[in-house]
Chain A
């Protein structure tokens, strides 16, 4: 039975890291209707920044973590300014493709740095001994990851519900024209959405990098890995991303824990999310919590 509970706990932990990775996606999509395929690269850049700051510039890790979030905040904002601002109002396919182009460009830039081809790992800061209770264990890194996820997601939820800026962002996502007519600067909102996505990507990168080590291939793969999460939750729902992240984490853990090895199956954890995603989409075409758009001719 403790095996079962371990799977549940691991699933929740992994799921909340997925949720954090997915958060950036959702923020961008929510405000500007852009599907950012280069998100994996943002995650990788966030992780590399934390490493560069802590190990090469000897900045204390906590400050490095915050500093990298600030840096990616501005970096993502300028990415939006340079690459996406011109494409406001273009068809979806152009906007998707521009993020694909962006992905390649960021790849190129990362290959210029040592991170493109050399592996690193964060110095151990947190205690190695896990927290155990009744045969179930969770590592400090993971726990901190979950806490950061909760803080960030709570923060963003509050931001969208209460702050003026957050409300103006929601207004833009609801109706750009109407938002403009009451004096909200739409481009500024888009820039801000990207900046916040960059910030959350840096946080996700730092946590994933702590768990997997800093390998460019592994980190950028998360850009694709979180697709089922965001779609399942509904592209524009922060809450949906959390629920879907945890569902996906649980599915993966249970698939790995119970399916693999049965009937000659293997590696099901990688494919099952997509299968379940397809099935759910057939019944809920806008994901679990996505907005149903009312289309008019």
Chain B
């Protein structure tokens, strides 16, 4: 029996050696994502994680990188920056050439590490503060500031009742307040709106008084920069008071608008009929406006058995798109025969412009990065809720005043 054992061990060792020195030489590229799948904002984090996971699975199964595969580690950090940092250190030890991050807080907290490690990073937060003094953070789409200014420009362009009176409805944190200063700069640069009041919400159960105050001040538009739940409560109260404009800029009513994290199917799910005629801007395509990109998204979701809510979530799109960008940079790097490492991937991302711009089908415009442009998709699409569905309004547009603010 003893001989048998030695023989078996011998075979095992030989197999291992063969496997190690096998002829395939397929490279496994390690990527990592740390995000909140439990704790605060997990309603956005869960579909996001699924988007990333599914896309890389698809890449590997379809052999889009030839023999090479992408191994993406996804970690739950429960929205705690300390845990994000711990994950990031581990990912560095794994030797990741590109890192996917999530929240505004953790992106800012780790910004200096990204700089020192010179590692390209794609966060899920579009906070403009992320890219200040940073050479390695690449926002997937236009920043919150750009989204809010874009909405304000849309108001200035399409409202025919003189100078529009706008109120801001924001999250009581830097995430919400960030765009306020930029909007003020845009106004100083000539953007023709008037900000009447900035409302910071809490966990309000009744906003009647706030809404009445806004009405008495003659507010015609509200731009929201927060997450869905407070917007839904606000809209419910507005609906009940009968002050939601049924068309854009309706007289003596308020038209509600919002940036990326205020909208999506979640808003309709939370606010129900009160979400009607809510204007929302993002750079992603939505499944309620069918097209090539959304078909691909739904097919991906079906392939990996995702439920309807996930398949139609704009955060699922968000995750897919970020994975696409990372994949595209790797693919280009490979195509040139360069080794996949931080330097080359950063260079590839920085060259994504002009003729080299990347067109992921999931967004309304191309992804363009350069040494000075840190926001991926600069185009914004305005959406509007009609009959419980998001519908596109006009063609995608770009914010003019953002250039003057930066």
Contact = CB atoms under 8 A, between A and B. Distances in A.
Interface in A179-199: none
A215 B271 CA distance: 11
B273 A213 contact: no
Interface string B35-58: 001101111011100000000000
Interface of A: 2-3, 6-7, 9-10, 13-14, 17, 107, 111, 114, 116-124, 128-130, 137-139, 142, 208, 211-218, 221-222, 225, 252-253, 256-257, 260-261, 266-267, 269-270
A217 B272 contact: no
B204 A215 contact: no
Contacts of B199: 260
B238 to A, nearest CB: 11
Contact of A116 (B38, B232, B236, B240): B38
Contacts, number: 132
Given A137-B241, A213-B232, A261-B198, A117 B206 contact: no
A129 B242 contact: yes
Contact of B270 (A142, A213, A257, A260): A213
Interface of B: 37-38, 40-43, 45-47, 172, 197-206, 208-210, 212-213, 216, 228-229, 232-233, 236-237, 239-242, 266, 269-273, 307, 309
A33 to B, nearest CB: 28
B314 to A, nearest CB: 13
B240 A111 contact: no
Minimum-distance CB pairs A-B, first 9: A213-B270, A117-B46, A267-B172, A266-B200, A270-B202, A215-B229, A10-B206, A130-B240, A267-B200
A164 B210 CA distance: 47
Residue from A114, A119, A269 with most neighbouring chain B CB atoms (10 Å): A119
Given A213-B269, A213-B270, A261-B198, A13 B203 contact: no
A128 B38 contact: no
Contacts of B271: 121, 213
Contacts of A267: 172, 200-202
Contacts of B41: 217
Given A130-B241, A260-B199, 8 more contacts: A10-B208, A117-B37, A137-B241, A211-B206, A212-B229, A213-B232, A213-B270, A225-B203
Contacts of B205: 13-14, 17, 208, 211-212
B269 A120 contact: yes
Contacts of B209: 3, 6-7, 10, 253, 256-257
Nearest to A17: B205
7 contacts: A14-B206, A118-B43, A212-B232, A216-B42, A216-B43, A257-B210, A270-B203
